[in-house]
Amino acid sequence: MDFNLTDEMTMLKEMTYKFAENEIAPFSSECDKEEKYTPEIRKKAADLGIVGAWIPEKYGGAGMGILGQAIITEQLSRVDMGIGTNIITASFGCESIYLYGTEEQKQKYLSKVCSGEWVSSGAFTEPNAGTDAAGYQTRAVRDGDDFVINGSKIFITNGTVSDFMVVQAITQPDEKRHKRFSQIIVETNREGITRTKLRGKMGIRASDTAQISFEDVRVPQSNLVGTDGNGFPQLMHFFDITRIMVAAQALGLSQACLDVSVKYSKERYAFGQPIGNYQATMTKLTEMAIKIEALRNLVYKAAWLIDSGKPDYTLSAMAKYLGGQTAVFCANAAIEIHGGYGYMDEYSVQKWYRDAKILELYEGTKEAEIMAIGRVLQS
């Protein structure tokens, strides 16, 4: 059992963090305040090979696998989770195309995402159905050689900037709940699509989030991803993988909180000595460090198992659950260690505090992860 990263993965880790420090950090505050998307940074990341890095070289990616993608995600999130999300999720939705799509679909879409030319998105969540993925109502009706799509989606990452979406829609309305759905690629320049940017988010404000409506949107039936009626299990498998990336985001953000808190605790004096000398501060820092180390091992193991062909998706759910809790805990502890300064936008910890909460919500709430893990334990 070897817990050391390979030389290649170590270089990837160092390169990504250096990129984040040089290219992302200078714009972090501005993009957060202005809710500004960053296509130029994403394109620089693509030139470096860290957009869609999990995608095999055959389709234009770096072939770094899920562990490599998790490391990239972790290092970007150490600096800015909002701008980092723009890079990490530039290939969001491509997982379904890679796993279930035709060779033609893979060749057409994946390489252009990796090169930075295109951005993808996954149009899944709806206004009245988030965690209840079997409750989606968007429909795709066959008409000749086309699907005609009607419905609406909400909280869609990259919603106003993507070039195509993988849309979850009902194609078999007479089947049982979990057999009604299919996944369909929808290019965003098609007539009948309305995309509205959502503003006023608590955190990850540089990330683009949108509401999308489909009104008689026509796409060819050749845009079907995978098997007709198999969309629900395809989506569940999609989340099995992407949950690891959310956990990796949590890992990076938590590490950032610990790093700045240790530094501040050495520099800030109270009652004649550094606040890090006091047991109350030591307790916070120690608990942060323990949780982070546990999370890192869980994230890396879950990712490594997928790359090794021995996936354990319960570990993915565990990583997601622990990740959200760890990030919220560490961000809160960082605020407390910084005291009043932590509440001011001069310090990044207030931003990380706002960013952290989404990690308990998207890609499956912490309550949903409990149900997923619990069902396995009871089986």
* Residue 363 a catalytic site member: yes
Residue 255's Cβ-side half-sphere holds a number of Cα atoms within 13 Å equal to 21
- Residue 248 φ/ψ region, left for φ over 0, alpha for ψ in the -120 to 50 degree band, beta for the rest: alpha
d(CA 379, CA 376): 5
Q: Please give the full DSSP string across 232-245, using - where no structure is assigned.
A: HHHHHHHHHHHHHH
Give the integer Cα–Cα distance in Å for 74 and 374.
27
**Which residues, other chains included, contact 244 with Cβ-Cβ below 8 Å and sequence gap of 6+?**
66, 70, 299, 302, 303, 306, 316, 319, 320
Q: Which helix (H) or strand (E) holds 372?
A: helix 366-378
Residue 219: which residues within 8 A CB-CB, separation 6 or more? 146, 147, 149, 184, 185, 186, 187, 190
Q: Exactly one of 35, 74, 360, 363 is catalytic; which is it? A: 363
Inter-residue contact 325 to 248 (CB < 8 Å): no
Report the catalytic residues: 363
